[in-house]
């Protein structure tokens, strides 16, 4: 019997070498705002043991003034981080099974919508792992989509020229699974094969996220609506959650 080849999960395909071109607008200035906000909100100092969970290419990691460690599943992004001069330890791993001892960190940051990749059970496991590796009294920052704001402004399709390529994106909301689904197609000017993949993120409104945090052994302490420190409300562009163990 012929075996059917299983496709890798979307988050394996999406975070390849092309990722940095698709999100080229997320630059160091953007990262600096996020890091400054985290340092203020979490009281980060040079002595703080900090895990950048889903650190990607290290654009936030390199800016923190702390004892940092970065973890990501993507080898191409971790390799890029090292080439760009990130000196912190970089670990390849799955955020559902963190390869760290319990209580190893004072702070965990999870930035740029890097939570919600799995089903609710998988996402709960991520939060449980964050709680496990935090010391008692430690804090986490989750930088998430604010569903009412995002869905009210959802652009169904877009097309954009980038250096040597055209980027086509389709966006849709799966109301049953409560997932924001993005279909990406990259057409290259030099005739290279097209790249196609999807991103699929479970988005959480405040009550259901707070319930998930509680089940994981965490408590939402504060919410911000942007990295400028604005208070959170239904119209906020982001849902930045400070959670404590």
Domain co-membership, 166 together with 57: no
In CATH, what number is assigned to the domain containing residue 33? 3.40.50.150
Mean pLDDT throughout 45-59? 97
Is the residue at 58 inside a domain? yes
Which has more confidence, 4 or 94? 94
Mean pLDDT throughout 139-168? 96
pLDDT of residue 244: 98
Quick one: pLDDT band at residue 219, thresholds 50, 70, 90? very high
pLDDT of residue 39: 98
Mean pLDDT throughout 65-92? 97
Averaged pLDDT score across all residues of the chain: 95
Is the residue at 125 inside a domain? yes
Q: Is the pLDDT of residue 213 over 60?
A: yes
pLDDT of residue 17: 84
Domain co-membership, 79 together with 153: no
| Whole-prediction pTM | 0.95
pLDDT of residue 24: 83
Quick one: pLDDT band at residue 71, thresholds 50, 70, 90? very high
Q: What percent of the chain has pLDDT over 90?
A: 89
Long-range contacts of 168-175 (CB under 8 A, 24+ apart): 174/200
Burial 157-179 (b: 16+ CB within 10 A, else e): eeeeeeeebebebebeeeeeebb
Q: Is the pLDDT of residue 2 over 60?
A: no
pLDDT of residue 5: 61
Q: Is the pLDDT of residue 8 over 70?
A: yes
Quick one: pLDDT band at residue 140, thresholds 50, 70, 90? very high
pLDDT of residue 163: 86
For residue range 110-131, what is the model confidence (pLDDT) as tens digits?
Answer: 999 999 999 999 999 999 999 9
Domain co-membership, 135 together with 185: no
Domain co-membership, 142 together with 156: no
pLDDT of residue 10: 95
Which domain, by its residues, includes 187? 149-200
From the list 102, 95, 96, 100, the residue with the least C-alpha distance to 135 is 102
pLDDT of residue 80: 95
Domain co-membership, 158 together with 216: no
Q: Alpha carbon of 115 to those of 43, 85, 95, 239, 243: distances in Å?
A: 22, 26, 9, 12, 14
Judged by DSSP in three states, 241 sits in strand
pLDDT of residue 3: 58
Domain co-membership, 112 together with 159: no
Domain co-membership, 80 together with 135: yes
Which has more confidence, 146 or 17? 146
Q: Is the pLDDT of residue 4 over 60?
A: no
Mean pLDDT throughout 161-188? 96
Contact between 133 and 100 (Cβ < 8 Å): yes
Q: Tally the domains of the chain.
A: 2
pLDDT of residue 90: 98
Judged by DSSP in three states, 131 sits in helix
């Amino acid at each position: 019997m012929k075996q059917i080849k299983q496709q890798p999960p979307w988050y394996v395909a999406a975070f390849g070498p092309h990722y940095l071109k698709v999100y080229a607008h997320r630059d160091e200035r953007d990262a600096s705002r996020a890091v400054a906000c985290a340092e203020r909100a979490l009281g980060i100092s040079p002595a703080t043991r900090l895990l950048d969970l889903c650190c990607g290419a290290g654009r936030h990691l390199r800016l923190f003034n702390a004892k940092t460690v970065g973890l990501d599943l993507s080898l191409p992004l971790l390799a890029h981080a090292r080439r760009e001069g990130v000196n912190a330890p970089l670990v390849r791993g799955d955020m559902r099974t963190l390869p760290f001892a319990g209580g190893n960190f004072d702070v965990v940051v999870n930035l740029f919508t890097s939570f919600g990749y799995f089903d609710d059970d998988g996402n709960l496991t991520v939060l449980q792992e964050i709680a496990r590796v935090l010391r008692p009294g430690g804090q986490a920052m989750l930088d998430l989509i604010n569903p009412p704001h995002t869905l009210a402004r959802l652009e169904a399709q877009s097309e954009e020229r980038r250096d040597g390529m055209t980027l086509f994106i389709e966006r849709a909301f799966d109301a049953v699974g409560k997932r924001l689904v993005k279909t990406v197609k990259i057409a290259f000017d030099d005739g290279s094969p097209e790249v196609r993949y999807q991103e699929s993120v479970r988005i959480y409104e405040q009550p259901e996220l707070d319930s998930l945090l509680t089940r994981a052994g965490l408590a939402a302490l504060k919410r911000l609506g942007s990295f400028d420190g604005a208070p959170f409300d239904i119209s906020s562009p982001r849902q930045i959650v400070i959670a404590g163990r």
